[in-house]
């Protein structure tokens, strides 16, 4: 999420205002102290103009991982 946020020149505070989620929660998510979860991913995805799966599964490699 940090990369997408920074590519769009948004600070954590700006994203927090857009999403109505505390900046401290954004920091915790970006620093792997809190899991994002699907519902928060949907909120962030709207703000960052991406699909929620990009945020929920950032390291997914189709050639290695199995969906089953």
Distance between CA atoms of residues 61 and 40, nearest Å: 23
For the stretch 13-28, pLDDT in tens is 999 999 999 999 999 9
* Predicted local distance difference test score (pLDDT) of residue 58: 79
Task: Pick 2-56's CATH classification: 3.40.50.970, 3.40.190.290, 1.10.260.40, 3.50.50.60.
Answer: 1.10.260.40
* Predicted local distance difference test score (pLDDT) of residue 19: 96
Identify the DSSP state of 65.
-
- What is the arithmetic mean of pLDDT over 29-57? 95
């Amino acid at each position: 999420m940090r990369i997408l946020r920074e590519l769009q020149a948004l600070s954590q505070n700006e994203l927090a205002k857009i999403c109505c989620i505390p900046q401290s929660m954004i920091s915790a998510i970006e620093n792997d102290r809190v899991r994002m979860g699907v519902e928060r991913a949907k909120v962030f995805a709207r703000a960052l103009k991406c699909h929620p799966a990009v945020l929920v599964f950032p390291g997914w490699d189709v050639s290695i991982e199995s969906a089953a």
